[in-house]
């Protein structure tokens, strides 16, 4: 963290998006995390993605639970809505908010503790409901706020700062999400914005639950030799298999790819993702094959990254429940609350 606020002065030639805003105008409060925290880079990637997606700040809802990761929602898009919930309970709050207003953009930021320990039940049900939100896990393998104990995502054999070795098997949110039928599953690394920013852009346009598990080194408690979540180890052991370039609805695809290398995927809102296969054998639309491949590579501790799975035809929460388009707070009161007489009529059916 820093003691002075980031100066408001900016580069005079910063590009502006279609709303006339610069990237700087999507920033939030000063980060109070440790200097060099991977989470701050993810924050910067979210800022960049929101700017590039021309998000109107007031349509964004930031949700989080408890932990270092969950503090970060304060650090981006200060003109948006936010809810910092109870530990592990962010998915419930997200579900409630989303149920009441489906027209906002929901972005949840959580950590490996918040998601995979105390909040695991909440997490998997949000996937099951295919809640229309972006769910980012800032995954560093330790409990940073309580001085670096292993979390549920710590790899077997990784060591703590003082040398203890972890012997418990990790919970991998990516595999979990795939087995639960998640429709957008990605993994990335905080130190690779070239990959992460377009992934977040695509996730925001995905209609349904979009999970991005981001390896995010804890610079204070998990960046040493022996750690499998350090900057150096992550760089050596992550392999991009599918790169996703996001293409806004109106834009033409200008980048030229070789034949067979790329697969354009059209999202429900007309935007597209161009999937550039770094590994030609990998098929991100085949859930089973993707899962097998991820498992196989994890055995040798290689993290496959990129957009690992996408399916665009799974109905999201509101479609499943045939809810109205209009946010509840905009539905006229008389419609929303038909009155005591109507209630009595309904109840009489159950008598």
Contact positions toward other proteins, by CB under 8 A?
1-14, 24, 34-38, 40-41, 43-44, 190-191, 193, 217, 219-220, 223, 231-232, 235
Q: Which is closer to other proteins, CB of 6 or CB of 147?
A: 6
**Cβ 10 to other proteins, closest distance in Å?**
6
**Cβ 119 to other proteins, closest distance in Å?**
26
Q: Which is closer to other proteins, CB of 38 or CB of 284?
A: 38
**Cβ 343 to other proteins, closest distance in Å?**
53
Q: Which residues contact 159 (CB under 8 A, 6 or more apart)?
A: 165, 166, 224, 226, 227
Residue 310 has φ and ψ, to the nearest 5°, of: -145, 135
**Cβ 7 to other proteins, closest distance in Å?**
3
**Cβ 69 to other proteins, closest distance in Å?**
16
Name the nearest CA neighbour of 269 among 207, 179, 319, 317. 207
Q: Are 273 and 249 in contact (CB under 8 A)?
A: no
CA–CA dist 94, 129 (Å, integer): 12
**Cβ 95 to other proteins, closest distance in Å?**
31
The single-letter DSSP state of residue 276 is: E
Which residues on neighbouring strands pair with residue 81, listed in sequence order? 61
* Residue pointed to by tokens 């760089």: 235
Largest CA distance in the chain: 70
**Cβ 18 to other proteins, closest distance in Å?**
19
Q: Which is closer to other proteins, CB of 37 or CB of 52?
A: 37
Q: Which is closer to other proteins, CB of 6 or CB of 268?
A: 6
| DSSP string computed for 279-341 | STT--TT-HHHHHHHHHHHHHTTPEEEEEEEE-S-S--HHHHHT--SS-GGGS-HHHH---HH
**Cβ 20 to other proteins, closest distance in Å?**
17
Q: Which residues contact 342 (CB under 8 A, 6 or more apart)?
A: none
Burial class (CB in 10 A: 0-12, 13-18, 19+), 186: buried
CA–CA dist 262, 315 (Å, integer): 26
Q: Which is closer to other proteins, CB of 301 or CB of 311?
A: 301
The single-letter DSSP state of residue 199 is: H
CA–CA dist 96, 114 (Å, integer): 18
Q: Which is closer to other proteins, CB of 10 or CB of 328?
A: 10
Q: Which is closer to other proteins, CB of 31 or CB of 92?
A: 31
Q: Which helix (H) or strand (E) holds 124?
A: helix 120-128
Q: Which is closer to other proteins, CB of 43 or CB of 166?
A: 43
**Cβ 304 to other proteins, closest distance in Å?**
19
Q: Which is closer to other proteins, CB of 20 or CB of 259?
A: 20
Rounded-to-10 torsion of CA 315, 63, 199, 59: 80
């Amino acid at each position: 963290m820093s003691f002075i606020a980031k100066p408001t002065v900016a580069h005079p030639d910063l590009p502006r998006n279609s709303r006339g805003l610069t990237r700087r105008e999507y920033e939030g409060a000063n980060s109070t995390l440790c200097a060099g925290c991977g989470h701050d880079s993810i924050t910067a990637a979210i800022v960049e993605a929101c700017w590039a997606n021309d998000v109107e700040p007031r349509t964004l809802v930031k949700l989080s639970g408890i932990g270092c990761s969950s503090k970060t929602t304060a650090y981006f898009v200060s003109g948006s809505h936010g809810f910092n919930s109870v530990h592990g309970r962010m998915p419930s709050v997200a579900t409630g908010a989303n149920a009441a207003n489906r027209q906002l953009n929901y972005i949840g930021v959580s950590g490996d503790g918040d998601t995979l320990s105390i909040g695991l039940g909440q997490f998997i049900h949000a996937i099951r409901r295919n809640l229309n939100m972006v769910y980012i896990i800032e995954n560093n393998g330790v409990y940073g706020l309580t001085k670096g104990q292993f979390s549920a995502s710590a790899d077997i054999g990784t060591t703590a700062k003082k040398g203890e070795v972890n012997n418990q098997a990790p919970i991998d949110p990516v595999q979990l999400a795939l087995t639960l039928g998640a429709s957008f599953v990605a993994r990335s690394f905080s130190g690779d914005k070239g990959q992460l920013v377009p992934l977040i852009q695509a996730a925001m346009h995905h209609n349904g639950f979009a999970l991005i598990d981001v390896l995010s080194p804890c610079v204070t408690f998990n960046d040493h030799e022996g750690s499998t979540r350090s900057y150096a180890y992550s760089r050596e052991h992550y392999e991009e298999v599918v790169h996703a370039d996001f293409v806004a609805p109106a834009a033409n695809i200008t980048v030229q790819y070789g034949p067979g290398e790329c697969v354009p995927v059209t999202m429900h809102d007309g935007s597209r993702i161009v999937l550039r296969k770094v590994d030609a054998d990998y098929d991100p639309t085949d859930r089973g094959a993707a899962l097998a491949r991820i498992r196989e590579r994890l055995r040798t501790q290689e993290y496959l990254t990129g957009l690992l799975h996408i399916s665009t035809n799974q109905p999201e929460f509101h479609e499943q429940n045939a809810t109205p388009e209009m946010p509840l707070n905009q539905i006229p009161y008389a419609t929303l609350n038909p009155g005591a007489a109507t209630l009595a009529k309904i109840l009489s059916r159950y008598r």
